[in-house]
Each structure stands twice: as structure tokens, then as C-alpha cells.
């Protein structure tokens, strides 16, 4: 992939948007502060101070005690920031063994239950890779993913939970571009299923921002970060090779509704002691790109 020259530093990102839209900007909090002095509720408070409006979290929800869910709800109240998005790695929905598929479906349903428990209305699913590609019928594997995604969506629909699917930056992923994402959305055909894109993943896969146009009216959640253009890494906007202004414009046009979510996903950083400043800069740059006013009280100023 040919790298393009961009100005370095979040403060130089152009303020370009496709159309007026007050995007709701949050933070993938566990990843951003990994290894930093900020953990637990302190990380959530730091996210709010840095300019995040909400959190995206990863939690081992299967068998999670109710007291842990109560604690997380209390922590969101104390930190003054809600959880809007729950990540769900569901890597075994096409496993050739019935018991493994069944367990993975129950595991994924537990993420839906967890989202309900903490007040989130969206679950983002990652499907993983074709472990058996070429060794076991690809058509059958795909159909098993479709079948189990439909069952998961049926479960989520009972509780008014939206599900989105994220393409990965992996050659052998079930979904690794907007074409395969559209195909999966069409095959599952659930009213609660929509698209997620991770901008850094698209860059690694050499997908131009205009590729998002295939998702017009179906894009509900976005992972927003820059990329080095070669491997899987989430960089602060303006510090890599991506055309972040073009991505913001395409996302704005393709969104499913004004309620769509933009999650800043950066880190983990090589210098986690500086995570607060880097997160604040990333949130500030993202808010500018989407035309969202910066918070004069908290962080999010782009530093």
C-alpha cells in the first residue's frame, strides 16, 4: 500500500465533514488506558474528563456475577459517563462441532445480557477467522455463521438491543471488507443487525474511504482511528497515513441514523504513562472532524 504524506499531530487534522451531524463520540476505554495509571472507575473518569460522551467496554460476561454488573452500573453513575457499546468476540459460530457452536452462541447471548445489565443498547460482534477455510466446506461454514448470527439477533431483538458487525484487518477473516460485510448483513437479514467499520482496519486492507458508501443507511457504530497503513495498529487521528477527514465525511453520509455512535479506539500505547494526553488529543481531533463542539470544561481540546 502506498503511504500518503500527512501532517503529524492531532491538532493539524482538517475540520471537514460531509453534512451537519452532531456525532456522539465515545471511547474504547479498556484499550486506551491499558497499562496506564488509570484503571477501573479512574479510567472512566479520565475518559469523561478527556472529552468522551460514553464508553465502549469489553467484559467476560459469561457467568458474570450479578454483583459485578451492579458494581459497573454504580461506577458509571459515579464517573458520570454511561456505557453505550459492548464488544463481543464470537469466534466459534461456524465451528464444525455442534457443542462448540452452541457454547459460542450462549457466550454471545451473555454479552447481550451484559449490555442490558449495564444499560447499553448496542453490541458489536467480531466473527474472527476461517480456521477451517479450504479444509471444510466454505459454503457450509458461512451458512453456519449466518444461522447463528440470526439466532443471536433474534435474541437481541427481544430486548431492543442493536447488533453491529465489524470487519477485521485479517486476510482470512470472515468479514474483512465492506463487500463481505454487506453480504453477511443481507444473508442474516435481521432488523436489529447493522454495520460497524473500523477505519484503521480498512486502511490496512487498502480500502479507500469511499468504500464505506456500500453501507449507506446501514452504518450504526464506528471505530475511529488512524493507521500506519501496513499492520493492525490504532493510532490517534492525524498521526498516521489515513485520510481521516475523508473517513469522517463518508461515515457521516453512510450513518443509519443520527443516533449512530463513533468510538475513538486508540492504544495500547508504548508509553502508557502518557495515555491521558493522547486520549484527550484523539477525542479532540475526532470531535473536530465530525463538527462536534469541544467541551470547554473537560478535556477533548486536542491538546
As a whole number, mean pLDDT of residues 281-303 equals 74
Give tens-digit pLDDT for 130-165: 988 888 899 999 999 999 999 999 999 999 999 999
Q: What is the pLDDT of residue 293?
A: 79
Asked if 77 contacts 66 with a C-beta cutoff of 8 angstroms, the reply is: no
Inter-helix orientation angle 138-158/178-188, to 10°: 60
Q: How confident is the model at residue 279 (pLDDT cuts 50, 70, 90)?
A: very high
Cell triple for residue 99?
457443542
Q: How confident is the model at residue 65 (pLDDT cuts 50, 70, 90)?
A: very high
Cell triple for residue 60?
467476560
As a whole number, mean pLDDT of residues 90-96 equals 93
> Which residues, 6 or more positions from 198, have their beta carbon under 8 angstroms from its beta carbon?
166, 167, 168, 169, 222, 223, 225, 265
Q: Determine the 3-state secondary structure of 58 from DSSP.
A: coil
Q: What is the pLDDT of residue 19?
A: 52
Percent of the chain with pLDDT over 90: 85
> In whole angstroms, how far apart are CA 65 and each of 61, 90, 112, 116, 129?
9, 21, 15, 14, 30
The pLDDT of residue 73 is above 60: yes
| DSSP code at position 224 | E
Q: How confident is the model at residue 3 (pLDDT cuts 50, 70, 90)?
A: very low
Cα end-to-end distance, the chain, whole Å: 31
Q: What are phi and psi of 226, to 5 degrees?
A: -85, 175
Inter-helix orientation angle 275-289/244-254, to 10°: 60
The pLDDT of residue 62 is above 50: yes
Q: How confident is the model at residue 254 (pLDDT cuts 50, 70, 90)?
A: very high
pTM of the model as a whole: 0.89
Rounded Cα distance, 117 and 75, in Å: 13
Give tens-digit pLDDT for 7-27: 333 334 344 444 568 899 999
| DSSP code at position 294 | P
Rounded Cα distance, 234 and 3, in Å: 16
Give tens-digit pLDDT for 192-238: 999 999 999 999 999 999 999 999 999 999 999 999 999 999 999 99
For the chain, give the number of residues: 303
Q: How confident is the model at residue 295 (pLDDT cuts 50, 70, 90)?
A: low
Amino acid at each position: 500500500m502506498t503511504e500518503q504524506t500527512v501532517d503529524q499531530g492531532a491538532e493539524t487534522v482538517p475540520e471537514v465533514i460531509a453534512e451537519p451531524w452532531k456525532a456522539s463520540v465515545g471511547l474504547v476505554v479498556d484499550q486506551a488506558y491499558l497499562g496506564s495509571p488509570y484503571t477501573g472507575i479512574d479510567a472512566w473518569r479520565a475518559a469523561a474528563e478527556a472529552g468522551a460522551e460514553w464508553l465502549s467496554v469489553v467484559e467476560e460476561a459469561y457467568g458474570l456475577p450479578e454483583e459485578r454488573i451492579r458494581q459497573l452500573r454504580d461506577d458509571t453513575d459515579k464517573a458520570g459517563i454511561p456505557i453505550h457499546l459492548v464488544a463481543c468476540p464470537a469466534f466459534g459460530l461456524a465451528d464444525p462441532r455442534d457443542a462448540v457452536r452452541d457454547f459460542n452462541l450462549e457466550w454471545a447471548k451473555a454479552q447481550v445480557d451484559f449490555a442490558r445489565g449495564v444499560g447499553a443498547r448496542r453490541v458489536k460482534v467480531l466473527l474472527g477467522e476461517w480456521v477451517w477455510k479450504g479444509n471444510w466446506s466454505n459454503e457450509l461454514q458461512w451458512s453456519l455463521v449466518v444461522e447463528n448470527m440470526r439466532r443471536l439477533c433474534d435474541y437481541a431483538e427481544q430486548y431492543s438491543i442493536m447488533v453491529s458487525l465489524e470487519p477485521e484487518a485479517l486476510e482470512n477473516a470472515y468479514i474483512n471488507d465492506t463487500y463481505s460485510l454487506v453480504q453477511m448483513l443481507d444473508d442474516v437479514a435481521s432488523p436489529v443487525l447493522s454495520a460497524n467499520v473500523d477505519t484503521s482496519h480498512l486502511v490496512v486492507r487498502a480500502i479507500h474511504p469511499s468504500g464505506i458508501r456500500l453501507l449507506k443507511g446501514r452504518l450504526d457504530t464506528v471505530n475511529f482511528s488512524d493507521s500506519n497503513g501496513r499492520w493492525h495498529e490504532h493510532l490517534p487521528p492525524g498521526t498516521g497515513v489515513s485520510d481521516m477527514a475523508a473517513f469522517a465525511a463518508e461515515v457521516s453520509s453512510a450513518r443509519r441514523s443520527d443516533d449512530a455512535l463513533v468510538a475513538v479506539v486508540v492504544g495500547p500505547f508504548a508509553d502508557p504513562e502518557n495515555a491521558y494526553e493522547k486520549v484527550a488529543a484523539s477525542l479532540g481531533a475526532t470531535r473536530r472532524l465530525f463538527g462536534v463542539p469541544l467541551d470547554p470544561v473537560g478535556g477533548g481540546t486536542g491538546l
